[in-house]
């Protein structure tokens, strides 16, 4: 009997020692899990920060690309406009040199007597030359401004004076002293005109 009781005592001691060992292992495991979670959270924060920085950099680069594309488009558009203007108005200086020639032909026709047989051939020659010259410059965008009877337009007409007129309404062109010219709708020279005041002259007095 005494031998059996002596053998049972070591079993009870082993159980009491094993219980604290399991608790320590569990605490160590919990601490390890917490440490892993903490490290994982730190890693997630680092990744989120890196992602935010990368997104900000991408947005900045996109904005730079958009601005560069817009600037390039503006440069191309301005260059195209400059080329178009150069094509349209390259003849401006040359046409300005021709205007006195056209004016002199106009004066020659106004001063000549078409019915006079001695000057009829010359009149017809000057008239034909003027028509040919006007047709030639018109092909390059030159248009004559001859506003007789039209409303006065300060953008294309230069008023020399105003006179009463029973035949022309007020503020209309009653006389053209010198015709104007346009080059591709840009004014080269305004027409010099006399403007009607309307009403006519009152002869009763």
Higher pLDDT, 59 or 152: 152
* Least reliable range by pLDDT among 15-24, 96-105, 110-119: 15-24
The CA distance from 109 to 111, in Å, is: 6
pLDDT value at position 200?
A: 61
Query: Is this structure's pTM higher than 0.85?
Result: no
Please list, in sequence order, all residues whose beta carbon lies within 8 angstroms of the beta carbon of residue 195, skipping any fewer than 6 positions away: 152, 159, 161, 162, 163, 171, 172, 173, 174
How confident is the model over 35-55, as pLDDT tens digits?
888 888 888 888 888 888 888
Chain mean pLDDT for the chain: 83
The answer to which of 8-17, 53-62, 92-101, 126-135 has the lowest mean pLDDT is 8-17
> pLDDT category, 129, cuts 50, 70, 90?
very high
Mean pLDDT is lowest, of 8-12, 24-28, 120-124, for: 8-12
In whole angstroms, give the CA distance from residue 6 to residue 1: 9
Work out the percent of the chain whose per-residue pLDDT is above 70.
83
Quote the CA–CA distance of 105 and 129 in Å, as a whole number. 8
Instruction: Kindly tell me if the per-residue pLDDT of 194 is higher than 90.
Output: yes
Residue 22: predicted pLDDT: 67
C-alpha–C-alpha distance, residues 174 and 149, integer Å: 6
What span, in angstroms and rounded, lies between the C-alpha atoms of 190 and 179? Answer: 7
What per-residue confidence (pLDDT) applies to 2?
47
77-103 as b/e: b if 16+ CB within 10 A: eeeeeeeeeeeeeebeeebeebbeebe
> Which tops the pLDDT comparison, 142 or 63?
142
DSSP label at 32?
H
For residue 153, count CB atoms less than 10 angstroms from its CB and return exposed for 0-12, middle for 13-18, buried for 19 or more.
middle
Q: What is the C-alpha separation between 77 and 71, in angstroms, rounded? A: 10
DSSP three-state, residue 159: strand
| Radius of gyration (C-alpha) of the chain in whole angstroms | 50
Distance CA 135, CA 119 (A): 24
What does the pLDDT look like over 134-177, one tens digit per residue? Answer: 999 999 899 999 999 999 999 999 999 999 998 999 999 999 99
Is 205 a residue whose pLDDT tops 80? no
Beta partners for residue 176, in sequence order: 193
Lowest mean pLDDT among 7-11, 128-132, 144-148: 7-11
Q: What number of CA atoms fall less than 13 Å from residue 7's CA on the CB side?
A: 4
């Amino acid at each position: 009997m005494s031998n059996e009781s002596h053998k049972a005592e070591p079993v009870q001691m082993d159980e009491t020692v094993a219980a604290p060992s399991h608790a320590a292992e569990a605490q160590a495991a919990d601490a390890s899990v917490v440490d892993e979670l903490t490290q994982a959270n730190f890693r997630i924060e680092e990744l989120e920060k890196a992602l935010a920085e990368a997104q900000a950099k991408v947005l900045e680069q996109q904005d730079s690309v958009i601005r560069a594309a817009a600037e390039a488009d503006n440069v191309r558009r301005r260059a195209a406009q400059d080329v178009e203007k150069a094509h349209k108005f390259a003849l401006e200086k040359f046409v300005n040199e021709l205007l006195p020639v056209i004016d002199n032909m106009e004066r020659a026709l106004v001063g000549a007597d078409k019915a006079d047989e001695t000057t009829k051939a010359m009149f017809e020659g000057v008239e034909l030359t003027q028509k040919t010259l006007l047709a030639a410059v018109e092909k390059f965008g030159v248009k004559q401004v001859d506003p007789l009877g039209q409303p006065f337009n300060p953008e294309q007409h230069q008023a020399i004076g105003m006179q009463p007129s029973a035949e022309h309404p007020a503020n209309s062109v009653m006389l053209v002293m010198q015709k104007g010219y346009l080059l591709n709708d840009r004014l080269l020279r305004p027409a010099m005109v006399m403007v009607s005041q309307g009403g006519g002259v009152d002869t009763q007095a």
